């Protein structure tokens, strides 16, 4: 099993609510309000309503006692490399029980460009000629392959080999951030390439347990207006009040002027 570039997350995210997933909890936060967006289940899919112009983050929290690799895409684009997303690409590595807010497109080991809800033509995917998958966030989760037992007479040789390997050979990164096509209206929201923000990473190795993801989490998003029109969000129908023939209290007197 080949070793692939990954980003291991060291900082702890806020407690997750309204999350999707089994191996990890995944939720979406409006960074401008701090609100975790409500997740709506509709026809077998999960949806959130984005607010045009708002910055957002993908919150991932490992719920396992071992490391996980999260290959993450927005609008069909890998958020680390900018490639059209595929399972065998780089992702973020999460230590056991650790959570993190992924807030943007990675530009370097020290910066991201913030995720922003924007119009479809202004989305990063559309601006790079890939508008077909705008409106979906994907997280492919991989378990780590357990290390093979090492015989005693092999340990010293392995230690020497590791000492000679260059630091850049480790694939991945550790972040310490400071900070079904639906028969409905065309999507009104995509994810833009926002302002630059500081986000430091270093590289780590991760050996996948298998080639295919152990779990795939898919969350679709659009404007609240579109989700209402599609029936994803159902508003409560107000019940009209029934007129009462004797709504007042008993009092002595006669009919006053209006």
Dist. CA 179–CA 128, nearest whole Å:
27
3-state SS of 220-231 is: EEEEHHHHHHHC
pLDDT of residue 16: 34
pLDDT of residue 62: 97
Nearest to 94 by CA among 239, 221, 215: 215
Dist. CA 9–CA 98, nearest whole Å:
7
Tell me the average pLDDT across 31-35: 95
Tokens of 60: 């991932």
Which runs of E-coded beta strand occur in the chain? Answer: 6-9, 24-30, 35-36, 40-42, 45-50, 56-62, 68-74, 77-78, 91-94, 99-102, 104-106, 111-118, 136-143, 173-177, 190-202, 215-223
pLDDT class of 246 with cuts at 50, 70, 90: confident
Sheet of strand 99-102: strand arrangement:
35-36, 24-30, 56-62, 99-102
Instruction: Check: pTM over 0.85? Answer yes or no.
Output: no
| String of DSSP letters for 135-170 | TEEEEEEEEBPPPPP--HHHHHHHHHHHHHS-GGGS
85-99, 219-233, 241-255: range with lowest mean pLDDT: 241-255
pLDDT of residue 237: 65
pLDDT of residue 107: 96
At 232 the three-state DSSP class reads coil
188 C-beta neighbours (distance < 10 Å), count: 20
pLDDT tens digits for 70-102?
A: 999 999 999 999 999 999 999 999 999 999 999
Average confidence score pLDDT of the chain: 82
pLDDT of residue 258: 82
Percent of the chain with pLDDT over 70: 77
Question: CA Rg, the chain, in Å?
Answer: 24
According to the per-residue pLDDT averaged within each range, which of 175-184, 188-197, 231-240 is highest?
188-197
> Is residue 33 a contact partner of residue 78, using CB atoms and an 8 Å limit?
no
| String of DSSP letters for 103-117 | -EEE-SSSEEEEEEE
Q: In the predicted model, is pLDDT for residue 159 greater than 50? A: no
Q: In the predicted model, is pLDDT for residue 1 greater than 50? A: no
- What is the CA angle 132-135-141, rounded to 5? 100
């Amino acid at each position: 099993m080949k070793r692939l570039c990954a980003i291991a997350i060291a900082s702890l995210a806020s407690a997750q609510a309204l999350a999707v997933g089994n191996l990890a909890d995944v939720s979406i936060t409006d960074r401008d309000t701090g609100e975790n967006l409500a997740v709506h289940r509709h026809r077998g899919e999960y949806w959130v309503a984005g607010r045009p112009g708002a910055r957002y983050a993908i919150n991932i929290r490992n719920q396992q006692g071992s490391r996980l690799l999260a290959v993450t895409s927005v609008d069909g684009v890998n958020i680390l490399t900018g490639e059209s997303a595929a399972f065998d690409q780089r992702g973020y590595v999460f230590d056991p029980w650790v959570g993190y807010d992924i807030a943007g497109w990675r530009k370097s080991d020290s910066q991201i460009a913030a995720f922003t809800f924007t119009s479809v033509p202004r989305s990063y995917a559309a601006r790079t000629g890939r508008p077909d998958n705008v409106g979906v966030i994907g997280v492919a989760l991989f378990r780590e392959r357990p290390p093979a037992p090492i015989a005693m007479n092999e340990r010293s040789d392995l230690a020497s080999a590791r000492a000679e390997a260059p630091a850049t050979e480790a694939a991945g990164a550790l972040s310490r951030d400071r900070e079904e096509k639906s028969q409905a209206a065309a999507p009104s929201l995509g994810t833009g390439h926002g302002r630059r923000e500081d986000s430091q990473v270093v590289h780590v190795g991760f050996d996948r347990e298998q080639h295919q993801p152990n779990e795939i989490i898919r969350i679709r998003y659009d404007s609240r207006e579109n989700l209402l029109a599609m029936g994803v969000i159902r508003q409560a129908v107000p019940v009209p009040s029934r007129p009462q023939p004797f709504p007042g209290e008993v009092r002595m007197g006669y009919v006053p002027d209006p």
